[in-house]
Amino acid sequence: MYSRLAKAFYFLTTVFFIIVFLYIYALLPQKLSYEVKIDEVPTHQISKDAFFFISLALFVVLNFLIIVPVKMIENQSVSRFRKVFRIGDPFRDHMIAWIYSFSGIININLVIMAFFILRINNLSGIGSGLSGFVFYLAPFLFLIWIIFLFIILGKKIKKIQSV
């Protein structure tokens, strides 16, 4: 049950990333800055095309590195995974749901980083409505999801110790 909701969340965040990233890419100038000094003088710049390919490569690599292990757990393709993640065990369902939702959180954080690049290179005022607190959302989301991981692992450890 949880894994289906997490898969839907992952799928929706993937689509959300693609749509928002293409919108942000269309708004960026040909030379964009990714670091600015206090007096708003750009110190490091890259081309718009380089940003596009680096961002998409980062998106694909991060999603691939997270989704391949969870698919191996789901398909029971590794014998060591079969012992730890037994079919029907609630721990397996919770871990699969956590991994899919964590990948969705990574996609949301990539969207936040793309908005950050847009805000640095904001020429026409679009995107300036984003408050600064949105940029603090990325580490907060990671912290929440890591706490959930420790809760899931703690429940499994208690179950193993009680047996």
Check: pTM over 0.85? Answer yes or no.
no
pLDDT per position as a tens digit, 113-161: 888 888 878 755 555 555 567 778 788 888 999 999 899 888 888 888 8
Q: How many CB atoms lie within 10 A of CB 116?
A: 16
Indicate the number of domains in the chain.
1
Q: Rounded to an integer, what distance in angstroms lies between the CA atom of residue 145 and that of residue 83?
A: 25
The per-residue pLDDT for 117 is 83
Tokens of 29: 């100038």
The per-residue pLDDT for 8 is 94
The per-residue pLDDT for 63 is 93
Q: Please compute Rg for the chain using Cα positions.
A: 19
The per-residue pLDDT for 45 is 78
Tokens of 112: 């936040």
The per-residue pLDDT for 37 is 67
Beta bridge partners of 36: 42
In a 13 Å sphere around the CA of 28, the CA atoms on its Cβ side amount to: 26
pLDDT per position as a tens digit, 27-37: 888 888 777 66
Q: What is the mean pLDDT of the chain?
A: 84
DSSP assignment of 42-65 equals EEEEEEHHHHHHHHHHHHHHHHHH
Give mean pLDDT, residues 31-60: 81
The per-residue pLDDT for 115 is 86
The per-residue pLDDT for 39 is 61
Q: Rounded to an integer, what distance in angstroms lies between the CA atom of residue 44 and that of residue 31?
A: 10
What range does the domain containing 60 cover?
A: 2-162
SS3 41: coil
